């Protein structure tokens, strides 16, 4: 049997083998169950330091990585590359990462507006790099926490029909989820206005439709995405109100869902644009479970990277 893939970094889902996804999900499930029993401290990362380097805003992802590191007993530093740092004085990404590395951390969690930034740093630094979102490329920890949420509510991903609705063109969450869901045997339909679907989205092995009704009619899982206005140079929808009327998951469209279908959203949500408040807070919504599962999956990512790093040490 071929050797299991060694996790040196977590840069994206595209290059992850199914066995690695399975390993991370199983690890995540174990942490989830221990956390649910009230356990708050684990020792996997004792005497290790995790640096969060964020060049874009974040609420969930950054605090979730911080929580995960602290639960594993690591020290944690949060570096928000904003107007209070030397980034505004012209320091480059590589130099910023190098100065942080000179303080001997053990892991770097990076969010950056440019696709490929974590790949670049993984070649320049000696420590594991975890991609916490790079431009509109990938957001692997989000796809893994979504997968953990789907598995713990629906049992298994294999054979499920998943609809992803919204700004597919600019969404790293959509891309990572499409890779993961395909690898794990789900069928994915993407839906949005023509301007928000990438031109060759079919190459990602998904079904495409402009009709929300068609996307959701047989879906077991519906993922709603925010419109990423910050990644668009020109206005790509006429107005928020029109988008809501045609593509928002409102009470009427949600009534057409199959029994037992779940509704997900990676956050941040724009209530009244892509989702109605009643649907977001309704009984089918697992949006807060996603946030809870985020900590367990990020603990799994850190613990597995640590394990494989130790395997490589002589
Ligand atoms: C997403 C992101 O930053 O890519 N948020 C998140 O990490 N939960 C989605 C978004 O910003 O719309």
At 270-312, the pLDDT tens digits run 999 999 999 999 999 999 999 999 999 999 999 999 999 998 6
- Give the mean model confidence (pLDDT) for residues 124-150: 97
Instruction: Return the ligand 1 atom nearest residue 139 CA.
Output: 4
- The pLDDT score that the predictor gives to residue 84 is 79
- Closest-CA residue to 26 (of 312, 245, 299): 299
pLDDT exceeds cutoff 50 at 127: yes
Nearest protein Cα to ligand 1, atom 7: 61
Neighbours of 276 (CB within 10 A): 19
* Protein residues with CB under 6 Å of any ligand 1 atom: 60-61, 133, 139, 142, 172-173, 226, 228, 266-267
- Give the mean model confidence (pLDDT) for residues 112-119: 96
The answer as to whether 6 is a domain residue is: no
Quote the ligand 1 centre to 86 CA distance (angstroms). Answer: 25
Does 195 lie in the same domain as 231? yes
Does 176 lie in the same domain as 110? no
**pLDDT averaged over the chain?**
94
Q: Please give the Cα distance from 12 to 301 (Å, whole number).
A: 12
Does 297 lie in the same domain as 233? no
Using DSSP, state whether 120 is helix, strand or coil: helix
Does 286 lie in the same domain as 235? yes
Question: What six digits make up the tokens of 216?
Answer: 């959701």
- The pLDDT score that the predictor gives to residue 314 is 47
Quote the ligand 1 centre to 11 CA distance (angstroms). Answer: 16
Does 296 lie in the same domain as 218? no
At 17-72, the pLDDT tens digits run 999 999 999 999 999 999 999 999 999 999 999 999 999 999 999 999 999 999 99
Instruction: Return the ligand 1 atom nearest residue 56 CA.
Output: 3
Does 236 lie in the same domain as 95? no
Does 166 lie in the same domain as 41? no
CATH classification at residue 145? 3.40.50.1370
Q: Please give the Cα distance from 140 to 110 (Å, whole number).
A: 12
Quote the ligand 1 centre to 17 CA distance (angstroms). Answer: 24
Q: Which domain holds residue 179?
A: 140-290
The answer as to whether 101 is a domain residue is: yes
The answer as to whether 197 is a domain residue is: yes
At 82-114, the pLDDT tens digits run 877 888 788 899 999 999 999 999 999 999 999
Q: Please give the Cα distance from 150 to 153 (Å, whole number).
A: 5
- The pLDDT score that the predictor gives to residue 307 is 97
pLDDT exceeds cutoff 60 at 1: no
Does 281 lie in the same domain as 296? no
- How many domains does the structure of the chain reveal? 2
- The pLDDT score that the predictor gives to residue 313 is 61
Quote the ligand 1 centre to 267 CA distance (angstroms). Answer: 6
Instruction: Return the ligand 1 atom nearest residue 173 CA.
Output: 4
């Amino acid at each position: 049997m071929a050797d299991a893939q060694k996790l040196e970094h977590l840069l994206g889902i595209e290059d992850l083998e199914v066995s690695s996804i399975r390993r991370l999900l199983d690890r995540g499930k174990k942490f989830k169950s221990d956390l649910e029993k009230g356990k708050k401290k684990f020792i996997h990362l004792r005497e290790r330091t995790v640096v969060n380097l964020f060049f874009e805003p974040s609420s969930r992802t950054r605090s979730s990585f911080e929580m995960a590191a602290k639960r594993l007993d690591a020290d944690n530093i949060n570096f928000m590359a904003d107007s209070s740092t030397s980034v505004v004085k012209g320091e480059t990404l590589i130099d910023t990462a190098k100065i942080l590395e000179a303080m001997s951390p053990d892991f770097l969690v990076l969010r950056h507006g440019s696709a490929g930034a974590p790949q670049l740093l993984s070649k320049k630094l000696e420590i594991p790099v975890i991609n916490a979102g790079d431009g509109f490329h990938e957001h692997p920890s989000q796809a893994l926490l979504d997968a953990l949420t789907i598995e713990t509510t629906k049992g298994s991903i294999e054979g499920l029909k998943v609809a992803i609705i919204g700004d597919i063109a600019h969404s790293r969450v959509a891309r990572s989820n499409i890779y993961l869901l395909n690898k794990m045997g789900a069928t994915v339909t993407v839906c949005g206005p023509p301007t928000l679907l990438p031109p060759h989205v079919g190459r990602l092995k998904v079904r495409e439709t402009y009709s929300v009704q068609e996307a959701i009619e047989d879906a077991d899982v519906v993922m709603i995405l925010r419109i990423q206005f910050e990644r668009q140079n020109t206005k790509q929808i006429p107005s928020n109100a029109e988008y809501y009327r045609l593509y928002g998951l409102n009470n009427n469209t949600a009534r057409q869902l199959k029994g037992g279908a779940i509704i997900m959203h990676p956050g941040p949500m724009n209530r009244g644009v892509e989702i109605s408040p009643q649907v977001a807070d309704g009984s089918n919504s697992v949006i807060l479970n996603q946030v809870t599962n985020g900590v367990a999956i990020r603990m799994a990512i850190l613990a597995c990277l640590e394990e494989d790093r130790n395997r490589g040490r002589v």
